[in-house]
Structure 1
């Protein structure tokens, strides 16, 4: 079984961050982070749509879709969604910490 969707994307982002040059301004960094975050959310959305499609095809009796395919796709989308929730929680926690800092 290969669970490569989110794991490979996270590793690619880590390598990209390690190899990237320092940005000239904060706006460019914010835009890059926003793009990366948007891409990650879109990937999770794609996994969930794929899982739902496989489940619907299995429910309709498609012979090309097995129960194991449906369960693997469902678990992939579940893990990706849970990881997204954890990232969101960390971002909210960091934002609250920044807002509580004295100026």
Structure 2
């Protein structure tokens, strides 16, 4: 990929991130600066988001099972699918990191 193409893709991603910040419902801040956080920090934040999604869906499932009238089945199913997809994505990222680590460790110097 050429440098102008990379810059264009980066600008597009930054504009999408700024739009996501505007649509953020709970006041969560999304960093739009390149290199603003460390890789470990971003990985930890992603794991915390996945955990939060799973906890939310579990709490809604318990409320639905208890007969809470404020919990709709369609909202519960959407939250459960979000948590499932997020967990699968986290698992795939972990698998890719392990593969990359093994590849680096197997390199001969």
TM-score (norm. length: structure 2): 0.69
Higher RCO, 1 vs 2 (CA within 8 Å, ≥6 residues apart): 1
Runs of 4+ in 1 over 3 A off after TM superposition: none
Alpha-carbon deviation of 1:58? Answer: 0.2
More helix per residue: 1 or 2? 1
* Secondary structure at 2:38 match in 1: helix
Q: When the two structures are aligned, how many residues end up with a matched partner? A: 82
Gaps of 5+ in 2: 1-19, 22-29
Gaps of 5+ in 1: 1-7, 22-30
Structure 1 vs Structure 2 CA RMSD: 2.1
Which residue is 1:48 aligned to?
54
TM-score (norm. length: structure 1): 0.73
Residues 20 and 34 (structure 1 numbering): CA distance in 2 closer, same or farther, change over 3 Å?
closer
